[in-house]
Structure 1
Amino acid sequence: MEAAVMMVRVVAAVAAAVAAAVVVVVIVVIVVIVEVEVVVVVVVVVVVVVVVVVVVVVVVVVVVVIEVVVVVVVVAAATATVVVLVVEEGGRQKAKVGKRRS
């Protein structure tokens, strides 16, 4: 029984890591579509990678300590937060770039 529980936790941790990787890809695609300057893209990607690593570490800790349902909620909340922040930042940077060109 304990082995089954551990297996579920490991699978949940791997799923969280995969979700985090997907978030990075989505954010990079968003940034490219928004056509933000290269420097901003690099900064955003670095920030996103750091956030994702932190999220994965937190999720793994949560998986070991608490039930899997909580993990799903944490990953969903973290993912939504990161995407919203990047979209907002991308919009701000695009506005700045637009002003500079005109």
Structure 2
Amino acid sequence: MPHSPEEKRKVLARVRRIRGQCDALERALEAGADCGPVLQQIAAIRGAVNGLMSGVLESHLREQFGQPASDPEDRHARVTEMTALIRSYLK
């Protein structure tokens, strides 16, 4: 989750743009649009979601690793969490 008010505002704006893209895709599908433009819209949505994920992940990484770990267990827990997040992101 974005931690500053500015980051939060940017992420919410991005989510709203993605929602608009999804609404446009729904309208295109309801109208029986050709496959080419529909596929382009799906690819654009996928790119927007990937960008959102990347931004939130970067923010989280900065938050988690911007400060040194208090002890080796804390460091291990942070690395384990980040590994799981990155794996889910790459799927």
Q: Give the structure-1-normalised TM-score.
A: 0.44
Q: If each structure's helix is expressed as a fraction of its own residues, which one has the higher value?
A: 1
Q: Give the structure-2-normalised TM-score.
A: 0.48
Larger radius of gyration: 2
Which structure has more RCO (C-alpha within 8 Å, separation ≥ 6)? 1
